[in-house]
Amino acid sequence: MCRSACVGLRAKGNNATADFLGMLHMTTTALPPPPTAPDAPAFLTPALDNWRGAIAAALVLSVIAIAALPAAAAFWTVGALVALVAATFVVNAFRRHYYGGLLVAPAIAMLFVMNIFPLLWSLGLSFFAYQSNRQTMKFVGLHNYIQALTSDIKAPENWANLQTTAVFVVCTVAAQMLVGFLLALLFAKQFPLRRYLLILVLTPMMLSVVAVGVFYTYYYDPTFGLVSQVVNRMCGCQYVLMSNRAGAIGGIVFADAWMWSPFVMLLVLAGLVSVPKYLYEAASIDRVSSWRSFWTITFPYIRGLLMLALLFRTIEAFKLADLVILLTKGGNGTMTISYHVLRIAQEQNKTSEGAALSYLLLFVVIVLTNLYLYVANRRSQEA
């Protein structure tokens, strides 16, 4: 999911790496030339840096292990073979002075173990009938996906949850963008106590979601909650915010917007303060109205950041589950697709079903973000 969002960051990172490697290169050229690297070993030599041989051997042995050994033993055998191949890569890099590669190796290993492997593993699981509390595992092909999309029981539920999620995405993102943008406009000006107020406004973003959830359970509490108390006092009736769907969604949206508007504000503020002051002066000399100067001068500076904020917040909103769990436990029609997946996979132990549903959700998010990026890029090329 990060793929699209990280584009800008990655470009920067590349430059930094290039500089760093350039520096490395300089230091090595300054030193006496290193002893010439040994030639790569022949394909069949049993050497620790013969990575081609290792890959071939590992492939053959893996196939044999999977065919001959019981599942658990085969799993660990394949794991050991992968580790062996990785080791030959490292030794090879060391002997041939590929220090750049060696330096990023720990990061790559970590990424592989913590991200790529689980991702692929869960993708694999989604094609099996598997429950984490049972020992059996059966290949069922696309059954899980077909069930999730077409089953009379599951499909409507998934669809409803996805719709709820869409409502949350639209409402929270709109609220955050609007409030964050207005806050940024406010804090771009100088006024007394600005610094302290800024810290105060940024606080929600830094709080733990659990803390925020607990705050709001107390605010929304039917008996002693602040909201109920105030409204009861005013109308003399018994008001419970979370008692209907609209109220429950509104409550969660409010909490989420309260927490994440400062994030949007921070991004937009960065854009606003980067506008050179002399442009506004030039505009006032040119007798341009403030409305027009906003659209022609200010907005181009913050447009990119607004779009970035929109992208980040949309992706995050799709994953909304924490506040729902804390505030309504999915009741009153607030069940989001993420929480639904969590329930299936964790609470009902339907691991492979959950995996299949997650991949469907991932697909939706990737399609949406790419659509968004396509539109954004085309517009920026036009501009």
The CB-of-283 to another protein minimum distance in angstroms stands at 8
In order, the DSSP letters of 58-100 are: HHHHHHHHHHHS-HHHHHHHHHHHHHHHHHHHHHHHHHTT-HH
Residue placing its CB nearer to another protein in the complex, 249 or 283: 283
**Residue 237 in the binding site for another protein (CB under 8 A):** no
The CB-of-81 to another protein minimum distance in angstroms stands at 55
**Residue 383 in the binding site for another protein (CB under 8 A):** yes
The answer for residues whose C-beta is within 8 angstroms of residue 29's C-beta and 6 or more apart is none
In order, the DSSP letters of 251-293 are: HHHHHHHHHHHHHHHHHHHHHHHTS-HHHHHHHHHTT--HHHH
The CB-of-281 to another protein minimum distance in angstroms stands at 5
Cα distance between residue 361 and residue 213, in whole Å? 25
**Residue 151 in the binding site for another protein (CB under 8 A):** no
| Residues in region 269-298 near another protein by CB under 8 A | 276, 278-279, 281-289, 292, 296-297
> Contact letters (x/-) for another protein, 324-363, by CB under 8 A?
----------------------------------------
The CB-of-308 to another protein minimum distance in angstroms stands at 17
Q: Are 69 and 77 in contact (CB under 8 A)?
A: yes
- Which one of residues 300, 346, 363, 370 is an interface residue with another protein (CB under 8 A)? 300
Residue placing its CB nearer to another protein in the complex, 43 or 278: 278
The CB-of-299 to another protein minimum distance in angstroms stands at 9
Q: Are 337 and 165 in contact (CB under 8 A)?
A: yes
Q: Which strand (E) or helix (H) includes residue 137?
A: strand 137-139
The CB-of-292 to another protein minimum distance in angstroms stands at 6
The answer for residues whose C-beta is within 8 angstroms of residue 311's C-beta and 6 or more apart is 4, 5, 369, 372, 373
Cα distance between residue 341 and residue 63, in whole Å? 33
Residues in touch with another protein (CB under 8 A) = 276, 278-279, 281-289, 292, 296-297, 300-301, 383
